[in-house]
Amino acid sequence: MSATATLLSREETLLEPPEISAPHLVEKPAVKTNPTMLPATAFEEKKGGGFFGLAAVAAWSLLGGLTLGLPDKVVGFFESWPYTHEFGVGALVFAAIWLALTLVASLSALPRPLARVVQAFRHSVPWLIVLALILAAWEVLTAKTLILEPPFFAPPSSIFDAYVNDYPRLLDSAFNSLKLLFEGILWGATVGFLVGVAIGWSKRANYWIHPILRLIGPLPPTALLPIAFVFFATSHAASVFLIALATGFPVAILSWSGVASVNKAYYDVARTLGASELFLIFRVAIPAALPQVFVGLFMGLGASFVVLIVAEMMGVKSGLGWYLEWAKGYADYIKMYSTLIVMTLIFSGLISLLFAVRDRVLVWQKGTVKW
């Protein structure tokens, strides 16, 4: 009797949610149970936010006012700087938007989507102010005073020239760059991952592949460019190969180290539970190695950008690297600035995409889990 009684009471205590042992789990629902309104912390800095919001309005009005109010100085073969008027009006439109957001932010309760926008705005305000001041200084130093002289320097307003007047060529270039890049990364990441897992898992694969990796890996793929253009039928194929090489090396090394450093106890556990060798590779080694694999992908992505642009500058007949070279041929520095901005956005976007995928795949690794 007393035995069952103690057993029962033990079970009961077990079924109660442990309060101390898993604090983050117990706290979690508190955040979730507020579907329509953001938590109060979002509105903590209401007064400061309003003040800085008006500062952003002022900064962007200043930018618009300077651009529209001060006369352009024109030199040489430029009749006038393009898009000065549109740029100034655009700045004033942004100032109006910031004003609207500042007013909305001062309301006491907001529906959730709008609250999110306001929160993002509040977060960005210091940067918006600085951005307007930089653009204003840039516009004054170039178009308004010519302290920074053309053709090497161009006002921010003129950057839009290429986007408006040469967008078919620019779009085409961006598209071709992305196509080439994806093809190379896909090959490089796939082969690199397989090679890394193979040499991490199999001693024989390690014996044969490791020395090759050690020799060829550190060689900058760009050094192979001239030869690759001869060996491959098309410059496209050569570039795909070199981009793949650049991506594949870090992916292979880090996949290898990821697989090799898996806690051996995981294998013991899986084996006593009846796991086959394939299960050990695909359900234990590879998932355990994924955090390292993503580091390899990040490094590989960076290396692939370098090879892409150099290959396009040297041989490929389209793409953003080619567009840069082409603009250089006409000494069209404005177009080069435009291209650089496009490149920045694309490459930074790709890295962000990789990190978003990583956060999704490695959700178990983060301190706080979203579900």
Partner 1 sequence: MVALAVASQWEEAHPGQSASRIQVEHVSHGFDAPSGERLEVLEDVSLDIALGEFVALLGPSGCGKSTLLRLVAGLEPADSGVLAQDGAPITRPDPSRIVVFQDPTLFPWRTVWDNVALGLEAQGILKKGKGHVDEALKKVGLDGFARAYPHQLSGGMAQRAALARALVNNPKLLILDEPLGKLDSLTRLEMQGELLSLWQKNGFSVLLVTHDIEEALFLAQRVILFSPRPARIVSEISVDRPYPRHRGDAALANLRHTVLNHLGLGKSW
Residue ranges that bind partner 1, judged by CB under 8 A: 2-3, 6-7, 10-11, 14-15, 17-18, 20-22, 24-25, 263, 265-266, 268-276, 279, 283-284, 287-288, 290, 362, 364-365, 369, 371
Q: Least CB distance from residue 39 to partner 1, whole Å?
A: 21
Place of tokens 């050990």: 280
Residue with smaller CB distance to partner 1, 152 or 364: 364
Q: Least CB distance from residue 21 to partner 1, whole Å?
A: 3
Residue with smaller CB distance to partner 1, 113 or 367: 367
Q: Cα separations (Å) of 140 from 57, 79, 128, 147, 152?
A: 19, 18, 18, 9, 16
Residue with smaller CB distance to partner 1, 9 or 348: 9
Rounded Cα distance, 57 and 54, in Å:
5
Q: 78 near 150, Cβ under 8 Å?
A: yes
Q: Cα separations (Å) of 303 from 86, 261, 309, 344, 347?
A: 38, 25, 10, 15, 11
Q: Least CB distance from residue 9 to partner 1, whole Å?
A: 10
Q: Least CB distance from residue 272 to partner 1, whole Å?
A: 4
Q: Least CB distance from residue 146 to partner 1, whole Å?
A: 60
Residue with smaller CB distance to partner 1, 19 or 79: 19
Q: Cα separations (Å) of 17 from 9, 14, 26, 280, 367?
A: 15, 8, 8, 34, 21
Residue with smaller CB distance to partner 1, 14 or 40: 14
Amino acid in the structure at residue 236: H
